[in-house]
Amino acid sequence: MTPARARIDAVLEKGAVDVVIIGAGVNGAGLFRDLCEQGVDCLIVDKADYGSGTSAAPSRLIHGGLKYLETGEFRLVAQSTLERNLLLKNAPHFVRPLLTLIPIFSWSRGVGAVLRTLLGSKTAARSRGALLIKIGLHIYDFYGAKHRVMPRHAIVSRTKALRDIPALTPAIVAVGTYYDANVSMPERLVYELIADGLAANPRSAAANYMRLRSQDAGALTFSDSQVDMLVVRPRVVVNAAGPWIDEVNANLGSVEIHREFIVAAAR
Ligand SMILES: Cc1cc2nc3c(=O)[nH]c(=O)nc-3n(C[C@H](O)[C@H](O)[C@H](O)COP(=O)(O)OP(=O)(O)OC[C@H]3O[C@@H](n4cnc5c(N)ncnc54)[C@H](O)[C@@H]3O)c2cc1C
């Protein structure tokens, strides 16, 4: 018997577990780690490899939500820049600063659209001039100040930009530069979140290649394509199945009876 299976059996032998998380993408694995650190006994289960769903297929950009400034979603920018900075600090072996350039084609375009946003419009400016980009990047730096590890933004002159990057079009008037982050191996990040959780709480376990099949009177049944099966009775179920959230809800079946136990974590 593998050590992983021994831990799963130890969880099952107890009869009940605090939380079962269905889906080990970045959301499920992050929650698993957080709960384990707090001493909550958890079982996380995935139908395939950990982090093999949507979490393995992003553009690999860890952004702080610059675009949300234009729609006035400042709290989201504050939250996203903080999460980005924490990932840079906590996982520097996967998450690295990413220099980003914005070619600028005018000095003042887009100011009218911003004034409309301030008056409640949700339409972003189509074209942004240097003034607007300078203000936007300044606000972005302000929100990203907490736990910051990267240089601040800059507006680079046309002459310097064309000298440093000759491939840029001569139509620019300047270039804005700022830093976001890039994650090289998101699936490994997911795996490390699970490994951290397992290390933090010896009463927790993780199982992959187990798909949720059904729920009966609070008991969840997972099975693989062979004969192996897990039956577990959790106090709380977290559906973190990402794009499969509806399928998992359907397999949970008596959603009506157990609605209070079901937390839809995927957004
Ligand atoms: C093309 C693309 C580009 C993106 N680019 C970015 C980006 O640059 N930056 C960024 O921050 N975000 C990006 N995203 C969004 C980001 O990838 C997702 O928000 C995130 O990965 C969602 O994670 P999750 O844990 O909710 O879902 P998932 O990673 O999909 O995890 C769900 C898990 O549930 C499991 N599961 C499903 N059904 C069952 C079942 N019955 N039993 C057991 N397990 C089950 C699956 O196997 C899967 O592992 C991008 C997304 C896409 C599609």
Q: Which residue's alpha carbon is nearest to atom 26 within ligand 1?
A: 242
Q: Which among 218, 214, 209, 254 has a CA at the least distance from the CA of 237?
A: 218
Looking at the DSSP assignment, which residues form a beta bridge with residue 212? 222
Question: Which residue's structure tokens are 């310097």?
Answer: 160
pLDDT at 197: 97
Please name the residue whose Cα sits nearest to atom 3 of ligand 1.
58
Q: Binning pLDDT at 50, 70 and 90, where does residue 258 land?
A: very low
User: What value does the mean pLDDT take over residues 130-147?
Assistant: 93
37 within 8 A of 30, measured Cβ to Cβ: no
Q: Which atom of ligand 1 is nearest to the CA of 52?
A: 49
Q: How confident is the model at residue 13 (pLDDT cuts 50, 70, 90)?
A: confident
Write out pLDDT tens, residues 165-217. 999 999 999 999 999 999 999 999 999 999 999 999 999 999 999 999 999 99
Pairing relationship of beta strands 211-216 and 42-45 according to DSSP bridges: unpaired
* Residue 13: count of CB within 10 angstroms of its CB: 7
The SS3 call for residue 68 is helix
Q: What is the pLDDT of residue 116?
A: 77
Nearest one of 267, 246, 242 to 48, comparing CA atoms: 242
Pairwise pLDDT comparison (76 vs 254), residue with the higher score: 76
The percentage of the chain sitting over the pLDDT mark of 90, rounded to a whole number, equals 72
pLDDT in tens, 78-130: 999 999 999 999 999 999 999 999 999 999 887 777 777 777 776 666 678 99
Beta pairing, strands 16-22 & 42-45 = parallel
pLDDT score recorded for residue 125: 63
Q: Probe ligand 1: pick from 60, 193, 244, max atoms within 8 Å of CB?
A: 244
**Is the CB of 190 within 6 Å of ligand 1?**
no
- Does 153 contact ligand 1 (Cβ within 6 A)? no
Question: Directed axis angle between helix 130-143 and helix 111-118, to 10°?
Answer: 50
Residue 45 CB–ligand 1 contact under 6 Å: yes
Q: Which of 8, 54, 183 most suits a substitution to test ligand 1, by most atoms within 8 Å of the C-beta?
A: 54
Average pLDDT, the chain: 89
